[in-house]
Structure 1
Amino acid sequence: MSDQRRGGTPGPDRPDEESPERLYVITGGRTASTSRRSIDLVSLVVALTAPDPMTPPEQAQILRLCHTPLSVAEISAYLRLPVSVITVLLSDLADRGGVQVRGPVPIAALPDRELLEAVINGLQRL
């Protein structure tokens, strides 16, 4: 039961999970990743290592979650952290070799018109 329900004042023992101060501490005050790595919502992330005892809690959670590939958006949803915070954490993990971040598979280029006409002509001759 919380202190407020008992009539007391809320104590500092349980800070708001989404407070700006908490997010500031998690990212070390950074608002963007420091690497040139392109990390977007649909980038797939897979853990390459297990968390060690010195890994910060949020990064350890990412490493445990990503034993199978997950998108950045999924990680953000599971950890209930903003995508901007997740990209900073992923950048740090990738720089240390803890995760591999893969961009989305590019849309295949359409075959040129000549190739399509050659296929159609070949099929018509059958």
Structure 2
Amino acid sequence: MIHRAVDDEDPDRLYTVTGGRSRAADVDLDLVTLIVSEADPVPGMQSEYVKVLRTCRFPTAVVEVASELGLPVSVVKILLADLLADGRISARHPSTVFRHGSGLPDSEFLKKVLVGLKNI
């Protein structure tokens, strides 16, 4: 049996990081929700918040943020909900780039994809 890093994580640390909470309050974030920093870290900010803000300078999926922080997704969702409530990040699901009802991508979105592919 392979043990992941989370198995070795100190439960007291996770409790402290989330302030004892086990769920994000009224925020619907899934694994592919894109997170973007809207503010810079401030002195005295919890280190996990600082890491999130630095990691999300460009759109980053929730699952990638969790990987970068080395924390369970459930813990990261709580941290993201806090930052979202403070206006320090924005979140959007990738499906919002599609036109309502058509099921086809918006032309502006496709242009951005083309530019991104050319930059690779």
**TM-score normalised by the shorter chain: which range applies?**
0.7 to 0.9
Compute the RMSD of aligned alpha carbons: 1.9
Structure 1 runs of 4+ aligned residues shifted over 4 Å read 106-111
Structure 1 match to 2:21: 30
Letter in structure 1 aligned against 2:82: D
Aligned to 1:99: 89
Q: How many residues align?
A: 95
Which structure 2 segments of 5+ residues have no match? 1-7, 104-120
Q: Post-superposition shift, 1:110? A: 5.5
**CA displacement, residues 40-93 of structure 1 (integer Å, 9 cap, x when unaligned):** 100000000000012100010000110001000000111110000000000000
Q: How far apart, CA to CA, are the structure 2 residues paired with 1:19 and 1:79? A: 15
TM-score (norm 1): 0.69
Q: Aligned to 2:90, what secondary structure does the other structure show?
A: strand
Structure 1 residue 31 displacement after superposition: 0.7
Distance 2:94 2:23 in 1: 20
Select 1:48's aligned residue among 11, 19, 38.
38
User: Identity over the aligned pairs, expressed in percent?
Assistant: 38
Report the Cα distance in structure 1 between the residues aligned to 2:37 and 2:9, rounded to whole angstroms. Answer: 25
Contact 1:59 1:89 in 2 (8 A): yes
Q: Is residue 38–residue 103 contact of structure 1 (8 Å, CA) maintained in 2?
A: no
Query: Structure 1: which 5+ residue stretches go unaligned?
Result: 1-16, 112-126
- Map 1:33-112 onto structure 2 (within 5 A): 33-34=24-25, 36-105=26-95, 109=101
